[in-house]
Amino acid sequence: MRRTIGRAALVAAVSLGALVGAAALTPAAAAPSGSGPNPADYSTTGALPNHTIYKPVNLPSQRMPIVVWSNGACSADGTSAQNFLKEIASWGFLVVSNGRPNGSGSSNSTWLTQAMDWAVAQNSNSSSDLYNRLDTSKIGVAGFSCGGIEAYAVSGDPRVTTTGIFSSGLLNDADDYQLRRLDHPIAYIIGGQSDIAYPNAMDDWGKLPQGLPAFMGNLNVGHGGTYHETNGGAFGFAAQQWFRWQLKGDTTAAQTFVGQNCGLCRNGWQVQQKNLTVTQPTQSPTPSPTPSPTQSTPPVQTPTPTPTQTIPSSQPGATLQAAAARTGRYFGVALAAGKLNDSTYTTIANREFNMVTAENEMKMDATEPNQNQFNFSQGDRILNWATQNGKQVRGHALAWHSQQPGWMQNMSGTQLRNAMLNHVTRVATYYKGKIHSWDVVNEAFADGNGGARRDSNLQRTGDDWIEAAFRAARAADPGAKLCYNDYNTDNWTWDKTQAVYRMVRDFKSRGVPIDCVGFQSHFNAQSAYNSNYRTTLSSFAALGVEVQITELDIEGSGQQQAQTYANVVNDCLAVPACKGITVWGVRDSDSWRSYGTPLLFDNSGNKKEAYTATLNALNAAAPVPTQEPTQTPTQEPTQTQEPTQTPTVTPTQDPGQGSGACTATYTVANQWGEGFVADVTVTANQDLTGWKVSIQLPGGAGVSQTWNGTRGSASTGLVTVANAGWNGRVAAGQSTSFGFQGTGNGAGATVSCEAA
């Protein structure tokens, strides 16, 4: 049983620990620039106003991996652990800490995501001193105490390659899904049994996914750690060694953690290890400077590693999913809930595929048939079938000009924009932690020459609607991969392909959260497979996104169809960032264009020549070593919540604020036993360039997540939310809205609005 400790207890414990640590510090012995070969300092930038940036004074010639950090007590003081963070940075890392130097207030987990977005954008910004100086494929996230909770929250971000938890642990069992979604190495550095977080950290340790590489080190220093000591003390040493191993492939640093004779298996540390070998990271090792004499841990001989890598069998896979898994990829299928009672259909799906996409059940008209009344029953049928059979799920699709519910088709302007963002947020929040990838936006570009955006009602809300949808999706589910999905983008020479490419390149340069691009790949005589398809996949991959073949079907039959399927598979296999293939249906008779017999199984469920060609192409590829097979999801089947409507609370206006510039209306959109979702509509009584809403929550209620607005430091009592970057300008008589998820009972809150 997890010992529940509250956020407030962690804050108090850190405050006391910080005082003890400060009292023990010997100023004369301080080495604020770190012990590494690249002395480090900190700075700030107006482009990232809530953070402190640590980096070497003289940037090293090698690209620097990125570490983002959240402080103890979730403090917004970015220098509260400066000795510790400079120590990490001095070994050739860019470290971005939540909070400004000597800042006040509290951070939240979205600040860590902002730090990653900013760093990735700087690497692509030719005017930045970090231009082409960062290794954006190697990102670590870490946090101390309450900050560790925030680190957990973003560890599902697909950009994160390792996590460090310092004197922290999840606060309750309901958050264990954050452990189940971990797919990269994790280290726990804890202050021993006197550390208030010790019971929770040990509980987390016991619940880690099977096969996950993990290290647990306990040093009897209590919850305050050693962050204030010279170079961050023992915790600073452990941190820089872990990140040098995980993010730089330094095998000397690996010896600190691996085997019975590891460097931390002495000097008072109590050590536990899971699935660790010296060569466990997949990146190529980079030369490592000789450790400074100030480091207390002596060098040790390389221990004999215990094998933990899974090297797929050289034997061919008997099914599509087994053959694809040999190459580190998935092979998926689109399923319809209405056919899950067809035993032939489900037998093939279960045997052959390990990724599932809901054909229609998660689209806009299915999930929000009436405004603010959500129905997830059919989507849950797909999700639960997949979960019970060990499959992962792609979400399709959050925002699309087609298959909109009738009420949305009649909207326009700000009203439509807000409704779209609310839909994206609510659906992604409902499925948070359960979706591998979301098609956030589907088919937003027009066919034909010119590469223009499609003239849709969503496009007419403004060119930034796609960006706004991606940002809302990231805020709602930081752990899901976010994809743009489209058809007729297969041929590299087509204007539409180039237009999508330019959009993705722009998003990556500005830090807009996009992780993947989906290529539907519906091939027929009018849109034929082209030999430059591989060029298309590799060109997008070079932008730093994953590419996925999302809706593959190829009209035809016999050997010609089989050869085209093999060509598509070989093109994906030739591009390391092509992580999977999904076919759009099981049997030809299940296809949306069954007349073209475009799938791998005939109407009776028999394997076609195309199936054999696909399987042979997958099996012809060399096996790719992986740390462990993809984890089978372990979450309980989703229980569909009946949509509930809570009557609108009469809005209240503070007559002393804003002189009547705006009014706010508060509605509880959904209330369940332990939480609620609320919507707030802001109506402008005059032209606004910005706004701020004050929400007086009832006793026992709190805000856990906000979308389409920027929450202040308070999460209980009197909470303030200001406009986001895109919805501050509201013309007189027009409205915008934001929402939040809360704990407790949301009924009875009062709101007021003012110009900002």
Task: Give catalytic residues, as residue numbers.
Answer: 551
CA distances from 305 to 80, 183, 577 (A): 37, 21, 29
Other beta carbons less than 10 A from residue 290's beta carbon: 8
Q: Which residues contact 674 (CB under 8 A, 6 or more apart)?
A: 743, 744
Q: What distance separates the 2 farthest-apart alpha carbons in the chain?
A: 81
Structural contact between residues 55 and 128, judged by C-beta atoms closer than 8 angstroms:
no
Residue 704 token pair = 């856990």
Q: What are the φ and ψ backbone dihedral angles of 544, each rounded to 5 degrees?
A: 95, 20
Reported as half-sphere exposure (CB side, CA atoms, 13 A), residue 114 has a value of 18
Q: How far apart are CA 234 and CA 269, in angstroms?
A: 10
Q: Is 632 left (phi over 0), alpha (psi -120 to 50) or beta?
A: beta
Other beta carbons less than 10 A from residue 242's beta carbon: 27
Q: How far apart are CA 115 and CA 140, in angstroms?
A: 11
What radius of gyration, in Å, describes the C-alpha atoms of the chain?
Answer: 26
CA distances from 503 to 128, 228, 547 (A): 21, 45, 15
Residue type, 414: T
Long-range contacts from 444-448, C-beta under 8 angstroms, 24+ separation:
444/401, 444/484, 444/486, 445/486, 445/489, 445/496, 445/499, 445/500, 446/496, 447/488, 447/496, 448/495, 448/496
Cis preceding linkage at 334, omega within 30: no
* Sign of the alpha-carbon torsion through 124, 128, 133, 137: negative
Of 147, 226, 232, the C-alpha closest to 192 is 226
- The helix/strand/coil state of 148 is helix
Q: How far apart are CA 109 and CA 104, in angstroms?
A: 16
Q: How far apart are CA 345 and CA 601, in angstroms?
A: 10
Structural contact between residues 195 and 14, judged by C-beta atoms closer than 8 angstroms:
no
Q: How far apart are CA 528 and CA 488, in angstroms?
A: 9
Alpha carbon of residue 99 to chain centroid: 21
Q: How far apart are CA 181 and CA 445, in angstroms?
A: 33
Burial class (CB in 10 A: 0-12, 13-18, 19+), 234: buried
Q: How far apart are CA 40 and CA 54, in angstroms?
A: 7
User: If you write DSSP's letter for every residue of 315-326 in order, what string do you get?
Assistant: SPPSSHHHHHHT
3-state helix, strand, coil in the chain (%, to 5): 30, 25, 45
Q: Which residues contact 579 (CB under 8 A, 6 or more apart)?
A: 328, 329, 330, 516, 546, 547, 548
Length of the chain: 756
